């Protein structure tokens, strides 16, 4: 007699799926995760800055209207590679080990897109990947990525089949790849998770041809601390990310050598322009000529030139965001037209914040507000009430556990973040964090920002810059000094809050098991 054993169906499936199936078999949500590169919250109109009123982002704002906006959203290390590794793993930089750009991500570690794939999701990734590894090992059903930072015009695209040059503008291409997969590429019997990673508005800030003129002639409000003298802040005084001193006049600001000429001034990486076709180049030059000629004619003082550069920077930076916003709109439209929106989580965020002239800067890296913060908007009909504003502090370590939670998939104990689902249901857990840990490593490196760690509390921020002969502490009262101009580390009146924040910093380093950087005595 032959005895035939049949495993119960649940046991034959991967473990994570069992958890998911047990929770909500029919209603597992789809996930559309849209992340741009260096998109400052100041440049999203849902955040309400005066600047963004002149350059609104109506489609990104739709997500906040349909769902929630987080007003205290932070990263743990304001730099592309580390932030992306955190997004994937739910761990701080020191824990996943990717602390600086240029390192290689270990594809073998746990990442949420693979976990969702194993739990029965269709998964895909399109755009900037930038962790020096092919996404091959992640297990996406489909992917198309830019090479490293990628180019705005006619970029190289790497796919499972190899590398080729794509004709078109990066943001539009990434949107198109995403829509193609959503419409016809995916296995429609499964829920899906798609990562849409735009290159824009990253340096060198090149708008689509249809947007090159969009903000010409618009005068954007100049931050009050544009001419910061960095007094009392050693690391702020030695950075190389000042708009009027460190931006390349050709590569970044697209200034020309002389009236009537289209030849760029200092253009450190000509590749960005060389990729354009002759027709694209001609259209670009024609769009820029009048403003460049006017500048070459004018004999501006140093101060006026610095202010002019700010306007040019904003016109270009915000110009690149116009295509991102259109792309977000196209994805939202498709979800709504297909009815998928009803069971789809849509997130819009950036890999970190960015300086739009605050302290005179572009780029990020510092723990100071504009780069440590990052936009975070999310919709999920039926689960998040439209128009929700969440003020509880979140960090990019929280994204992975949130997606797992909504999908009903169990994650590993290595995750250091926490699911945001209670916050999105309108309830702040009593033990939700009130302060956020930060650690930046990349020095020496681009823009010469010194390594530092610190803690940002509800009111105070304590920072320690270290390494290469430096050990300098800073302390800010965000209530009286929201722009972080007045380092009060030596102020006797601040002795008690400084001591309290130092204790918190020690605790946080212990909690996260961060032994990198100098120990605090």
Please give the residue whose beta carbon sits closest to ligand SGN in the complex: 80
Q: Does 80 bind ligand SGN (CB under 6 A)?
A: yes
Mapped onto helix, strand or coil, the DSSP state of residue 162 is: strand
Task: Using the minimum distance from each CB to ligand SGN, give the nearer residue, 198 or 202.
Answer: 202
The rounded distance, in Å, linking the Cα atoms of 333 and 343 is 14
Q: Are 236 and 230 in contact (CB under 8 A)?
A: yes
Number of residues that bind Ca ion (CB under 5 A): 4
- Please select the residue that binds Ca ion; options are 61, 351, 363, 484, rule is CB under 5 A: 351
460-467: strand order across its sheet? 436-440, 452-456, 460-467, 470-477
Q: Does 377 bind ligand SGN (CB under 6 A)?
A: no
- Please select the residue that binds Ca ion; options are 35, 60, 68, 80, rule is CB under 5 A: 80
Q: How far is the CB of 364 from ligand SGN (least distance, A)?
A: 7
- The listed partner (Ca ion, ligand SGN, none) that binds 101, CB under 5 to 8 Å by sort, is ligand SGN
Q: How far is the CB of 78 from Ca ion (least distance, A)?
A: 8
- The listed partner (Ca ion, ligand SGN, none) that binds 363, CB under 5 to 8 Å by sort, is ligand SGN
Q: Does 363 bind Ca ion (CB under 5 A)?
A: no
Host H or E run for residue 312? helix 302-338
Please give the residue whose beta carbon sits closest to Ca ion in the complex: 80
Question: Strand pairing partners for 158?
Answer: 145, 163
The CA-based diameter of the chain, rounded to the nearest angstrom, is: 100
Question: Strand pairing partners for 389?
Answer: 69
Interface segment toward ligand SGN; rule CB under 6 A; list 39-47, 197-205, 206-214, 449-457: 197-205
Write the CB contacts of 162 (distance below 8 Å, at least 6 apart in sequence).
Answer: none
The rounded distance, in Å, linking the Cα atoms of 335 and 341 is 5
Written as six digits, the tokens of 214 are 């969009």
Distance linking the first and last C-alpha atoms of the chain? 74
Task: Using the minimum distance from each CB to ligand SGN, give the nearer residue, 28 or 251.
Answer: 251
Cβ atoms < 10 Å from Cβ of 364: 28
Q: Does 203 bind ligand SGN (CB under 6 A)?
A: yes
Q: How far is the CB of 267 from ligand SGN (least distance, A)?
A: 10
DSSP strand E in 270-375: where? 344-350
Q: Does 37 bind Ca ion (CB under 5 A)?
A: yes
Residues of span 439-478 touching ligand SGN by CB under 6 A? 446-447
The contact set with Ca ion (CB under 5 A) reads 37-38, 80, 351
Binding site for ligand SGN (CB under 6 A): 37-38, 79-80, 101, 130, 149, 202-204, 269, 363, 446-447
């Amino acid at each position: 007699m032959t005895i035939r054993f049949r495993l119960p169906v649940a046991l034959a499936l991967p473990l994570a799926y069992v958890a998911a199936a047990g929770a909500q078999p029919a209603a597992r949500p789809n996930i559309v995760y849209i992340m741009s590169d260096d998109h400052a919250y100041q440049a999203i109109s849902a955040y309400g800055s005066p600047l963004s009123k002149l350059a609104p982002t109506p489609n990104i704002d739709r997500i906040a209207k349909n769902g929630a906006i987080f007003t205290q959203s932070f990263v743990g290390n304001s730099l592309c590679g580390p932030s992306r590794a955190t997004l994937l793993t739910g761990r701080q930089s020191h824990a996943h080990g990717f602390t600086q750009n240029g390192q290689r991500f270990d594809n073998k570690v746990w990442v949420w897109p693979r976990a969702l794939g194993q739990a029965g999701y269709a998964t895909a990734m399109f755009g900037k990947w930038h962790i020096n590894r092919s996404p091959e090992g992640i297990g996406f059903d489909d992917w198309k990525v830019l090479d490293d930072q990628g180019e705005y015009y006619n970029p190289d695209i790497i796919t499972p089949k190899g590398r080729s040059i794509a004709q078109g503008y990066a943001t539009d291409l990434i949107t198109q790849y995403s829509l193609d997969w959503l419409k016809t590429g995916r296995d429609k019997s499964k829920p899906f998770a798609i990562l849409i990673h735009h290159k824009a508005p990253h340096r060198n800030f090149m708008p689509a041809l249809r947007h090159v003129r969009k903000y010409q002639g618009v005068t954007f409000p100049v931050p009050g601390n544009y001419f910061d003298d960095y007094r009392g802040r050693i690391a702020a005084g030695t950075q190389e990310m000042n708009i009027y001193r460190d931006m390349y006049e050709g590569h970044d600001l697209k200034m020309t050598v002389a009236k009537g000429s289209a030849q760029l001034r200092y253009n450190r990486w000509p590749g960005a322009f060389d990729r354009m076709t002759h027709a694209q180049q001609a259209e670009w030059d024609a769009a820029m000529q009048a403003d460049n000629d006017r500048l070459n004619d004018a004999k501006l003082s140093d101060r006026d030139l610095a202010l002019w550069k700010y306007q040019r920077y904003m016109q270009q930076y915000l110009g690149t965001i116009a295509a991102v916003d259109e792309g977000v709109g196209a994805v939202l439209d498709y979800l709504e037209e297909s009815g998928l929106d009803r069971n789809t989580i849509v997130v819009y965020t950036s890999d970190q914040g960015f300086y739009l002239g605050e302290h005179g800067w572009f780029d990020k890296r510092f723990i100071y507000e504009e780069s440590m913060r990052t936009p975070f908007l999310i919709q999920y009909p039926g689960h998040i009430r439209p128009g929700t504003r969440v003020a509880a502090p979140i960090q990019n370590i929280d994204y992975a556990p949130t997606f797992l939670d909504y999908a009903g998939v169990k994650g590993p104990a290595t995750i250091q973040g926490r699911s945001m689902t209670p916050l999105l249901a309108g309830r702040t857990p009593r033990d939700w964090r009130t302060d956020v840990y930060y650690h930046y490593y990349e020095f020496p490196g681009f823009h010469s920002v010194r390594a530092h760690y610190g803690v940002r509390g509800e009111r105070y921020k304590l920072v320690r810059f270290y390494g290469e002969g430096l050990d300098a502490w800073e302390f800010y009262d965000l209530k009286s000094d929201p722009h972080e101009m007045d380092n009060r580390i030596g102020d006797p009146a601040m002795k008690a809050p400084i001591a309290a924040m130092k204790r918190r910093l020690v605790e946080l380093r212990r909690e996260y098991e961060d032994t990198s950087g100098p120990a605090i005595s």
